[in-house]
Chains A and B, each alone.
Chain A
């Protein structure tokens, strides 16, 4: 059978086309993530059978349905505890948590705090499309101040939540922000993140043309894409302070944290071996 796309071997092609709206940024996120996984598999630093996906609920979390790997679509906000438990029981797994800003920063916000505190060995990919997509474009904690959404018809009065600052402050091993408008850089960050122990957090600035773009006056997916692209600022070594964003200031992308502290799995196994006098694997 002819191969239609180089990534088909990683896709449940019977589930394609995806449920995503035409022009949604999520296709780029998934493609980029799978390319990063592919590079790791090809170079032998990751085994295909050890890759697992977990997502909560939302358009982003739906991504767990399409890749041809083990995956779990759990309830809204709770993908991190699920993935962490898988990782502890099967330390050889590379668990990838994908979720929207609602899933990971709002309802699941508590879990991310504790996953980072533990430096849990997970790759957490948070797609920031600046609203709750699946439920219809309501204001999210990440919505830039002043923007219109379906629940802030006169503009969002609240401050936007900067997850980069939070994850950096709590001690994640790797923290980066990419954008679907710059997929090569994004792939670079995801590739690097996949090789880290401890918690790797990658925020992806993405587009929801259907419910965000149209609400703020962009009639087509391309218009929104170009608008976001204009607002992206690429920095080689940005400071944590520079991760603060606003619609006017734009979004700095780059690698904010890259360190190598022991991850939760190492810590817990070391501890178990200490109290049991060795032999725990």
Chain B
């Protein structure tokens, strides 16, 4: 077993990349991610990690550099936030469709304008259509563990896809928590380095990313969809084996008190911790509320969600991002609503958008959402006039 040390979420992510024995790291600083790459450059400089650290001149170059390194078979890592992630967006699609196993940390932060460095999920959600496997950690321990699991999943011959591990900016990235650190030997036993993806090799030359005409392009996109769908089983196995190796059990989602709940809340990231504290108190007072924390976001864990809302009368989805002008408004809401529609649920599913740009998500806010959701018990979706509300916003 590893040792427990008090570190921030950022350091937990850096320690995980070190334990995974990455070969190449390329990054550009941005708040609140910066401490990850500072720590990694220290590990590299003092010889604790035998890797190349490339101090690139932007995030576009950072992801391009790790794409290049992965294309020759290196185990690679990068991390970013907000504007940095948006600048990587172009290359994110390249990484997934070239089927390169990359692991990236995302310290989730609001996007400009106006500039704001605090937590919400706008950056993370903006990357949700890039074909990356995406996790959102609830705390520093999870961020650490998911990075290591991420390498195992990304490099699995049935997957060969990049993996992003989100964790809330400041709330997780800068909060010091006790973290059980996985050591290099244990990490490599769990996630051994194995290069089974197509790599550039002068002895057997291949070309990556040449023009695909209308005769061929389509098939690449279909393969990407098949690969990410196929990753579901690999992810389940990776979690099961993680529990065997390290004793910590993770699921695609966590469910609390959902069996008999009238209202099931659905949350992601650190707000799940607040929501759980609320739910535990409310239960003591007899309020029939349950909670689902979504850990795996892509591929979206539909079956797991569906199982835990079977007995619900209202589903209340909490989002920390806005897709302005869309039919759904909150991005997590859209996945939940489609999940329910496909399975014929005819109960209200409502969306509460909160905590944008670092505004605190408090138990009082959750209480407000739950009380509102309880007032909808017994209704049908078609009875609901507005499906979304902003909570904690100035009047």
Contact = CB atoms under 8 A, between A and B. Distances in A.
Interface of A: 57, 73, 75-77, 106-107, 109, 132, 134-136, 138-139, 141, 150-154, 158
B39 to A, nearest CB: 10
Nearest to B55: A139
10 contacts: A73-B115, A75-B113, A77-B58, A106-B57, A134-B31, A136-B29, A141-B57, A150-B38, A151-B55, A153-B42
B267 interface: no
B38 A151 contact: yes
B37 interface: yes
B115 A57 contact: yes
Nearest to A161: B57
B46 A107 contact: no
A158 B113 CA distance: 34
A10 to B, nearest CB: 24
A132 B29 CA distance: 8
Contact of B41 (A107, A109, A153): A153
B83 interface: yes
Nearest to A143: B55
Given A73-B115, A135-B29, A135-B31, A153 B83 contact: no
B93 to A, nearest CB: 21
B197 interface: no
Contact of A136 (B34, B57, B83, B115): B34
Interface in B65-86: 83
A21 to B, nearest CB: 16
Contacts of B42: 153
B306 to A, nearest CB: 40
Given A76-B83, A135-B31, A107 B38 contact: no
A158 B38 CA distance: 17
Contact of A153 (B28, B31, B46): B46
Contacts of B30: 135
Contacts of A77: 58
B311 interface: no
Given A75-B112, A107-B28, A154 B46 contact: yes
A77 B59 CA distance: 12
B52 to A, nearest CB: 12
B45 interface: yes
A153 B45 contact: yes
Contact of A109 (B34, B37, B57): B57
A158 B55 CA distance: 10
B58 A151 contact: no
Contact of A152 (B31, B34, B45, B58): B45
Closest 7 CB pairs of A and B: A135-B29, A106-B57, A107-B58, A151-B41, A154-B45, A138-B29, A153-B45
A73 to B, nearest CB: 7
Residue among A76, A77, A139, A151 with max Cβ neighbours from chain B (10 Å): A151
Contacts of A151: 29, 37-38, 41, 53, 55
Task: Give chain B's interface secondary structure class.
Answer: loop
Nearest to A134: B31
Residue among A73, A107, A152, A153 with max Cβ neighbours from chain B (10 Å): A107
A213 B42 CA distance: 19
Interface string B81-106: 00100000000000000000000000
A214 B45 CA distance: 20
A238 B6 CA distance: 54
Contacts of A73: 115
Interface in B30-52: 30-31, 34-35, 37-38, 41-42, 45-46
A75 B83 contact: yes
Nearest to A73: B115
A76 B28 CA distance: 12
A150 B53 CA distance: 13
Contacts of A152: 41, 45, 55
A176 B386 CA distance: 60
B114 to A, nearest CB: 9
A14 to B, nearest CB: 18
A136 B39 CA distance: 13
A228 B32 CA distance: 31
Contacts of A154: 45-46
Interface in B85-137: 112-113, 115
A134 B29 CA distance: 10
Contacts of B83: 57, 75-76
Contacts of A57: 83, 115
Contacts of A158: 55
A75 B34 CA distance: 18
A154 B47 CA distance: 11
Nearest to B53: A151
Contacts of B31: 134-135
Contacts of A134: 31
Interface in B271-307: none
Nearest to B38: A150
Contacts of A132: 29
A107 B57 CA distance: 5
B38 A138 contact: yes
A22 B256 CA distance: 50
Contacts of B35: 136
Interface in B346-390: none
B117 to A, nearest CB: 10
Nearest to B37: A151
Nearest to A77: B58
Contacts of B34: 135-136, 138
Interface string B318-330: 0000000000000
A153 B113 CA distance: 34
Contacts of A75: 83, 112-113
Residue among B29, B34, B37, B42 with max Cβ neighbours from chain A (10 Å): B29
A136 B38 contact: yes
Contacts of B38: 136, 138, 150-151
B43 to A, nearest CB: 10
B113 to A, nearest CB: 8
